[in-house]
Amino acid sequence: MSKTFLIDTTRCTACRGCQLACKEWYELPANKTFQTGTHQNPPDLNPNNYKLVRFSEHLIGDKVEWYFFPDQCRHCLNPPCQGAADTLIEGAVIQDEATGAVIFTEKSAKLSKDDFEYVRESCPYNIPRRDEKSGRMVKCVMCIDRVQAGMVPACVKVCPTGTMNFGERDEMLALAEKRLAKVRETHPDAMLADPYDVNVIYLLGDKPERYHEHSVASATPMNRKNLFATVRSAVG
Ligand code: SF4
Ligand code: SF4
Ligand code: SF4
């Protein structure tokens, strides 16, 4: 049984503690950023941000509503990125059996820029990024060093609102269903994002496209690359 996150976005205040905790734990340097007219900062996931709290605002009726989405790798049960990478270099992407964590290894530095694009396009959630200095592919690693030492991931540890939850998969699925039932009392469109495909389950209080274009896999049209990678990963 793998480890699973439940990210209950209905509780997120966008304090960005999780984003900073991730940077601190992995000693990721700051980015030079600019005001782009939004509180979201930096503008996108990048080699120095494995986690990014996304901000979206929508005019609904006569009210402006904020939607917060703490984005990270979903640690897919059958990772398309691994299926795609295996066609290029075996072992560039691995999955830890005990936790389900999907890890990009040092071998990923041997992938060319075109190879990296191929792997990135296989991801239904647009997660992989390339560190141009080392050539390595990078993303959230489920804090596997902490988890193997019996600790929870840094982003879960610091979250002050109960948005970030982590534990055994069956426990997190049960918690997700329980919270969904409660949230639906006031938010009828609430849903769980791809709960049976991933180990990072989001509880959304509204339609997925209001949060982020890649909040659910179905928001991404299945192209030839991720279809091939998914099939290969499932049979391999
Ligand atoms: Fe949201 Fe928790 Fe992250 Fe703060 S620490 S932005 S409440 S998920
Ligand atoms: Fe790979 Fe993307 Fe799934 Fe993460 S979310 S395991 S990068 S396919
Ligand atoms: Fe960062 Fe660890 Fe959270 Fe992944 S699990 S986003 S590596 S703090």
Dihedral over alpha carbons 180, 184, 188, 191 (to 10 degrees): 0
Closest ligand, as measured to the CA of 143? 3
Distance CA 44, CA 210 (A): 17
In the chain, the percentage of residues whose pLDDT exceeds 70 is 92
Instruction: Check if the beta carbon of residue 53 is closer than 8 Å to that of residue 78.
Output: no
**What is the average pLDDT score of the chain?**
93
Which has the minimum average pLDDT: 36-45, 140-149, 219-228? Answer: 219-228
Residue 80 alpha carbon to ligand 2 centre in Å:
7
Domains of the chain, residue spans: 80-141+221-235
Distance CA 177, CA 169 (A): 12
Indicate whether residue 53 lines ligand 1 (CB < 6 A).
yes
Tokens of 201: 């389950």
**Confidence category of residue 222, pLDDT binned at 50, 70, 90:** very low
Distance CA 20, CA 205 (A): 24
In this structure, which residue's CA is closest to atom 7 in ligand 3?
140
Residue 59 alpha carbon to ligand 2 centre in Å:
31
Class for the domain spanning 80-141+221-235? alpha beta
Distance CA 61, CA 18 (A): 31
Indicate whether residue 153 lines ligand 3 (CB < 6 A).
yes
Instruction: Give the pLDDT confidence of 50-88 residue by residue, as tens digits.
Output: 999 999 999 999 999 999 999 999 999 999 999 999 999
Could you tell me if the ipTM is greater than 0.90? Answer: yes
Is the sign of the CA dihedral 46, 37, 69, 76 positive or negative? negative
Instruction: Give the pLDDT confidence of 77-123 residue by residue, as tens digits.
Output: 999 999 999 999 999 999 999 999 999 999 999 999 999 999 999 99
To test the pocket of ligand 1, the residue of 9, 13, 16 to mutate (highest count of ligand atoms within 8 Å of its CB) is 13
Residue 60 alpha carbon to ligand 1 centre in Å:
24
Residue 235 has pLDDT above 80, yes or no: no
Indicate whether residue 54 lines ligand 1 (CB < 6 A).
no
Residue 52 alpha carbon to ligand 1 centre in Å:
10
In this structure, which residue's CA is closest to atom 2 in ligand 1?
159
Residue 190 alpha carbon to ligand 1 centre in Å:
19
Distance CA 236, CA 225 (A): 16
Residue 162 alpha carbon to ligand 1 centre in Å:
8
In this structure, which residue's CA is closest to atom 1 in ligand 2?
81
For residue 67, give the H/E element and its range. strand 63-71
Of 143 and 231, more confident: 143
For the residues 207-218, what does the mean pLDDT come to?
94
Number of alpha helices (DSSP H) and beta strands (DSSP E) in the chain: 7, 10
